Structure 1
Amino acid sequence: MLANNHKRIMRNTGMLYMRMLLAMAVTLYTSRVVLDVLGIEDFGIYHLVVGFIALLGFLQGAMTTATQRYFAFDLGDSGGKDLSRIFNTSLMIHCMLAVCIALVAETAGYWFVSTQLTIPDARMPAAVSAYHLAVVSFVFSVLMVPFTAMLMAHERMGVFAAIGMVDVLLKLAAVIILQYVGSDKLIAYAWLLLVVSLVTFTLYTIANKLLFPKIKLRWQWHSRQFRTMLSYTAWNTWGNLAAALSGQGTNVLLNMFFGPTVNAGRSIASQANGALNSFVQNIQAAINPQIIKLYASGDKSQMHSLVLHASKYNFYLLFMLALPVLLNTEALLGIWLVEVPPYAAIFLQLTIINSLIESFSGPLMTSAQATGKIKLYQTIIGSILLLNLPISYVALLKWQVPEIVLAVTIGISITAFLVRLAILRVLVGLKVMDYIENVIIRSACMSAITVATVYALNIIKASGIADLIFNVISALTISILAVVTIGLTSKERTKMILLLMSVKKKIYKGKKP
């Protein structure tokens, strides 16, 4: 059964990678063009106001996790017997949630954006208009959650990936159109992204109607299901609020202390890191339904094995991709962008380090969510994450340097990860010492030896394009060799060789006339 699960995960991951590679290429291109067309100031303003709306979206994050968990759990426990009821309850809650978020965003949120953020007076009307349009786009993203969760729970990654590719291509078209718009480009960009959100939402609803005809949309009140999901969501909300404040709240702090130019550097770092991190997110998205279904079926042994392997592979994959970027940050940013915003390089390096730490935690978080008993988990982890905001504020008052915010974030991430392990030991019986030995220690040894080797070979600073290419290829090659020889056990290496041979055989077979 575990072998079949691994095959399904690999197949689904492959489909998501196709979507991700297109998204990454388009994101890198569009970020360059939008930064050039809008300018550093407007670019920072747009991502600041959008980031503030995302801060209000902690409720959406809570419901997204709850929806995916309940869909996948029902499929693993009863084969989807109650799926229609769960879907309709979820859709009803998301409609209510969309209204609540819109009301908060257009009252308290509007007041904060128009009076508290550091935005030049001449650009305030455009910033406010972009904010209103971004609120509407966000409402569509909230309503989209039950439909995307249904696809993910059924592991219909091909459809999910296809719609994702359409969304990416539409955003590319929006950026191309933006270059020829004669009116205010900040407002035009917000309008174009609103149209993209509407089209994407329509595609998800059509896909669900065609693929799951047994799921009938009915506005029916299921009080017991509603209370169950709402109770689960209430505790999830605390964790998501803390995560939102930890991420977007510090972006607001940077704006208050240093202005929108620094926000532009943070936004570029976040987008570049997001492109790297999307590799891990795709693996995690393919694994999440399996972790929940294994727990629902009572197979904790296989679930623990999957959690350990997923944590380790998440880190390895991100490390292999991140190392060349960490060593050549300024050179790569110089090639990517027409004009590099201030602090973009140091922000990117620190953000990547934080992502490497967090890459271990994805499977742990999914395990906690699978149990449905998240009161203790969310209370403790949420409280730890929430400390990021006051500590960052105090650190900014003392040192007055933007990068201190990300240094604080890294410390918080390490603390939260260690506490997650302790909680999972109680919640699902995870063997912490096995996890430390097979995941943390092995990953740390592999990373240390790789970095030492890179330094010994002096693959550090590029003085030209040829040096940069050599550095990137060398760092990538060394990290891959280190993962295979040090990061994997002999049993895992054997499985990998057999898998590669199987893929090669299928490719060769497909080429035969």
Structure 2
Amino acid sequence: MSEQTSNMQQSVRSNANTKRIAKNTLVLYVRMFIMLAISLYTSRVILNMLGVDDYGIYNVVGGVVAVLSFLNAAMAGATQRYINIALGKREQEQLNKILSNSIVLHYIIALIILVLAETVGVWFVNTCLIIPIERMNAVNWVYQFSVFSFLVGIIQTPYSASIIAHEKMTAYAWITLFDVFMKLIIVFLLLFVNVDKLILYAVLLFVGANITRLVYVQYCKRHFDECSISRWNIDEKLMKSMFSFSGWTILGNLSYMGHTQGIAILINMFFGVTVNAAQGIANQVNGCVKLFVSNFTIALNPQIVKTYASNEIETMHSLIFRGCKMSILMVALFVIPLILETPTILDMWLKIVPDYTVVFVRLILLVAFFESFSSPLVTAQGATGNIKYYQMLLTFIGLLHLPLTWFLFALGYDAYYSQYIYLFIVIVMQIVRVLWISRSVGFSLLAFSRDVILRCVLAVIVALIIPIILHLLLPNGVFTVLVVCVVSVVCMALCSLFIGFNHSERTTVLNMLIKKLNINSK
């Protein structure tokens, strides 16, 4: 009887979690569509205003600063993980300690990055990057304000992590939308001034970063008790534990920086700022696709950690499977039409399409597809706290991207070969990640392969057939893009429903649709 009661309680909690995830995901998707529209517009305008060379300069200089972000990204992940664990166990006093220590640690990280940026970073920008000599003064101004903006983002991190951990996604959506609208205002301001637009752009982004930080801090202080710090509750043991956890996460983030910003610097050293502009546009497209799936995982990930903390392991496994499957299918929804119609879409979006952009975009979209289901797995591994050897192995594989790319560039291969290497490495990393985490958190590798990978692969293959035929038969143009995009989305949605989803998931989705239709018809 007690076991039956326990199962009923777990079922009720699972349903509550599902509803919360669905509500938060819906809020984040509304935010996403607004952000996508604004981001795509601002990218087009900035590329046209700055020109290909200055756009490439901004991307590569920003990349040098972003290389240092592996420290902050690691600490941000640790902060969110510890907050989620404390919330899962309902330990308010521990929550207060975590936030106090997190804020102190982020100030320490900001200081370390400032020192590195003003020594090694300044030297690298002025001696190693290939920049037109007449733009070196502008480059140094841009670099300094990029560093300052980045430091503001670091000390804001504990507050944004708190909002996500508390699952206040409506607030998170409003604040991030506020930030995006500020960037839109910045773009409009650039249209009406007659000064160096590259420098002014960096200055205004710094001002915007400060305003956004103030909004985050004020919201958290008003809504979360642990953020209204009247005295600093420093716990050396906790601080050491958080720093140790983030220390191993640093390796994973270092690998990611190698994939992105490290390769951007290599491309600059071998090919110059024009190719950096092409890579910057490809990264913008990749960011839009990742934004689409991250809305779901942002809502899901806190639940994975909390179910682990409360020892609801079966529920955790269910969340991992659901998260991985939905991530793959949602990315495929975007990636299929974008890859098929890349040249025409880029011509419609941008007035100026730098060389190499088409091939960069197509390859980075393939990478995004294979990388799509990593977030729930990484969150699950982080929840266990046992990340040392996992991070060491994945970092070693990931960092192979840099020497292999340098080797090919030195042999005279073209810039886009870096993306072929990246694609291969991501596939290897995903295989290793699934094998490792299945043992770490105890889910069945066979069940994951059958219920997630096989279903998703079959759904994508079947969904590709009609869009590819249309792409080959119809002439290039706006009409073809519209037809291929609509047909791709419909095919992928139907294949997801009838091939990707199992019976239970399909029934849930259909019931939700029927319920919505009934409400709208009344």
Between 11-20 and 283-292, report the one with greater CA deviation. 11-20
Asked if the contact 1:126–1:187 (Cα under 8 Å) also holds between the matched residues in 2, the reply is: yes
Q: Amino acid of the residue matched to residue 54 of structure 1? A: A
Equivalent of 1:172 in 172, 176, 184: 184
Displacement of 1:216 in angstroms is 3.1
Structure-1 separation of matches of 2:307 and 2:225? 26
Residue by residue over 1:183-221, the C-alpha shift from the partner in whole angstroms, topping out at 9 and shown as x without a partner, is: 111000001101110000000000001111453323343
Aligned partners of 1:489 and 1:307: how far apart in 2? 15
1:486 maps to 2:499: yes
Secondary structure of the 2:96 match is helix
Q: TM-score, normalised by structure 1?
A: 0.97
Aligned match of 1:278: 291
Q: Indicate the larger mover: 126-135 or 482-491.
A: 482-491
* SS of residue paired to 1:400: coil
Matched, 1:423 2:464: no
Alignment partners' CA distance in 1, 2:92 and 2:34: 33
Deviations 1:238-284 (A, max 9, x none): 11111111221011111111000000000011111211221101101
CA contact (8 A) 2:467 2:484 kept: no
| Alpha-carbon distance in 2 for matches of 1:460, 1:424 | 44
Q: Which residue of 2 aligns with 1:92?
A: 104
**AA at the equivalent of 1:8:** R
Residues 267 and 276 in structure 2, CA contact (< 8 A), matched pair in contact too: yes
User: Does residue 1:233 correspond to 2:246, yes or no?
Assistant: yes
In structure 2, what residue type is equivalent to 1:170? M
* 8 Å CA contact retained: 1:243, 1:385: yes
- For 1:491, the aligned partner's letter is S
1:224 aligns with 2:237: yes
Structure 1, 464-473 or 240-249: larger mean CA deviation: 464-473
* Distance in 2, Cα, partners of 1:461 & 1:25: 27
Structure 2 counterpart of 1:42, one-letter code: D
Whether 1:188 and 2:219 are equivalent positions in the alignment is: no
Is the aligned partner of 1:26 residue 2:14?
A: no
Partner of 1:334: 347
2:451 is aligned to 438
Kindly indicate whether the alpha-carbon contact (under 8 Å) linking 1:327 and 1:460 is maintained by their aligned counterparts in 2.
no
Residues 506 and 376 from structure 1, CA distance in 2 versus in 1: closer, same or farther, beyond 3 angstroms? farther
Letter in 1 for 2:451: N
- Kindly provide the amino acid, as one letter, of the partner of residue 299 in structure 2: A
Show structure 2 runs of 5+ residues with no match.
1-12
Q: Which runs of 4+ in 1 moved over 6 A?
A: none
Alpha-carbon spacing, 1:462–1:179, altered in 2? closer, same or farther (3 Å): farther
The within-5 A match list for 1:105-504 is 105-217=117-229, 218-458=231-471, 462-504=475-517
Give 3-state SS (helix, strand or coil) of 2:47's partner: helix
**C-alpha distance in structure 1 between counterparts of 2:167 and 2:472, whole Å:** 42
After TM superposition, the structure 1 stretch with the greater mean CA deviation from structure 2, 429-438 or 474-483, is 474-483
- Determine the C-alpha separation between the residues in 2 that align with 1:461 and 1:368: 46
Question: Root-mean-square deviation (CA), in Å?
Answer: 1.4
Greater mean alpha carbon deviation, residues 310-319 or residues 447-456: 447-456
Q: Say whether the 8 Å CA contact 2:97–2:234 is kept in structure 1.
A: no
Aligned partner of residue 82 in structure 1, secondary structure: helix
- In the alignment, the residues of structure 2 paired with residue 345 and residue 236 of structure 1 have an alpha-carbon distance, to the nearest angstrom, of 33
In structure 2, do the counterparts of structure 1 residues 460 and 120 end up closer, same or farther at CA, with 3 Å as the change threshold?
A: farther
Q: Aligned-pair distance for 1:167?
A: 0.3
Q: Partners of 1:377 and 1:505 in 2: how far apart?
A: 48
Q: Is the 8 A contact 2:95 2:226 kept in 1?
A: no
Identity %, equivalent residues: 36
Number of equivalenced pairs: 509
What's the TM-score once normalised by structure 2's chain length? 0.95
Check the 8 A contact 2:471/2:480 in 1, yes or no. no
Flag structure 1 segments of 5+ consecutive residues without an equivalent.
none
Q: Is the 8 A contact 1:368 1:424 kept in 2?
A: yes
Q: 1:267 to 1:192 in 2, by over 3 A?
A: same
Counterpart-to-counterpart distance in 2, 1:144 and 1:278 = 20
8 Å CA contact 1:269–1:348 kept in 2: the answer is: yes
> For 2:228, what is the secondary structure of its paired residue?
coil
2:49 to 37, 46, 49: 37
Q: 1:328, 1:462 within 8 Å by CA — same for their partners in 2?
A: no
Shift of 1:461: 5.7
In the alignment, residue 300 of structure 2 is paired with which amino acid?
Answer: I
Contact 1:84–1:216 under 8 Å retained in 2: no
Of 238-247 and 460-469, deviating more is 460-469
2:129 is paired with a residue whose SS is coil
Distance in 1, matches of 2:442 and 2:223, equals 37
CA distance in 1, matches of 2:470, 2:204: 48
Which amino acid in structure 2 is aligned with residue 201 of structure 1?
Answer: R
C-alpha deviation, 1:380, in angstroms: 0.8
The alpha-carbon deviation at position 426 of structure 1 amounts to 2.4
Pairs within 5 Å for 1:34-113: 34-113=46-125
Residue 506 of structure 1 deviates from its aligned partner by 4.6
